Amino acid sequence: MAPELTMESQTDECDDTLILKKAPDEVEAKPFRLLDLPPELWIKIGQMTIDALAPIENKDIITWSRSWHTGKKPNQKPTLALTCHQLHAELMPYFYNTKMKLTWELNSYFEVHLGKWLNCIGAENRKHVKGMRALVWRSKGDSVKKKQRELGEFWKLKVDMTPTWSRCEEKTGRWTAILKVTMVE
């Protein structure tokens, strides 16, 4: 709202000059602070900001991993979450839960980059990461539990793999599966 102004005539040498003054009862406006809003509003604003971001995909993890290796520390966190501890604590779980869209072929080189990234983001953030899928082409005798154990040992993390889709070729006994990968802490 615009400040209310009053006009007074100046009675010095020139009577036709007007001076604009603030009304005496007007209080100076304080700066707006996001956290002064009720929590449900600033959380919603933060979530809407995150929703507008592009998802984190394989190429982003590879770029991050390569940059980290050269000594640069790239930031993949939403800027709003970096403004204060309270926003960070509230928004990062939502970010990791909604923005990860990672699909890779099991036993591929991408696992090296993804393992570095998962270790780097820490246990608290890892438990919120959703949206990881591994593609597997297996022969008879291979088991999901074996693949899960191998990946967990490679990343030095506890991993759970749940088949979400599979198909078996009758002639070869070879099958394809998509595994949902989640972190177990």
Least confident of 55-69, 104-118, 135-149: 135-149
- Provide the domain count of the chain: 1
Please, what's the largest Cα pairwise distance for the chain?
A: 106
Domain residues for the domain of 64 are: 56-78+99-184
User: Does 141 reside within a domain?
Assistant: yes
Does the pLDDT of residue 74 top 70, yes or no?
Answer: no
Which region holds residue 156: left if phi is over 0, alpha if psi is between -120 and 50, else beta? left
One-letter amino acid for residue 111 of the chain: E
User: Does 167 reside within a domain?
Assistant: yes
pLDDT in tens, 4-38: 544 454 444 545 555 555 566 666 777 778 888 88
Residue 185 CB contacts under 8 Å (≥ 6 apart), including other chains: 123, 126, 127, 158
- β pairing state of 132-138 and 18-22: unpaired
User: Does 168 reside within a domain?
Assistant: yes
User: Does 93 reside within a domain?
Assistant: no
User: Does 51 reside within a domain?
Assistant: no
pLDDT at position 2 is 52
Q: How far is CA 8 from CA 13, 31, 59, 147, 155, in A?
A: 15, 29, 66, 83, 76
165 vs 130, which has greater pLDDT?
130
pLDDT at position 20 is 54
177 vs 156, which has greater pLDDT?
156
User: Does 144 reside within a domain?
Assistant: yes
CA dist 175 and 165 (Å) reads 11
User: Does 24 reside within a domain?
Assistant: no
Among 146, 96, 138, 89, residue whose Cα is nearest residue 117: 96
Among 55, 150, 42, 59, residue whose Cα is nearest residue 96: 55
Does the pLDDT of residue 48 top 90, yes or no?
Answer: yes
Q: How far is CA 7 from CA 38, 40, 183, in A?
A: 39, 43, 68
- Determine the average pLDDT of the residues in 68-85: 76
What single DSSP character describes residue 69? H
- Determine the average pLDDT of the residues in 128-150: 80
pLDDT in tens, 102-129: 998 888 889 999 998 898 888 888 989 9
pLDDT in tens, 49-59: 999 999 999 99
- Residues facing 133 on adjacent strands: 103, 180
pLDDT at position 178 is 82
What mean pLDDT value characterizes the chain?
80
User: Does 122 reside within a domain?
Assistant: yes
Q: How far is CA 38 from CA 42, 90, 181, in A?
A: 7, 14, 36
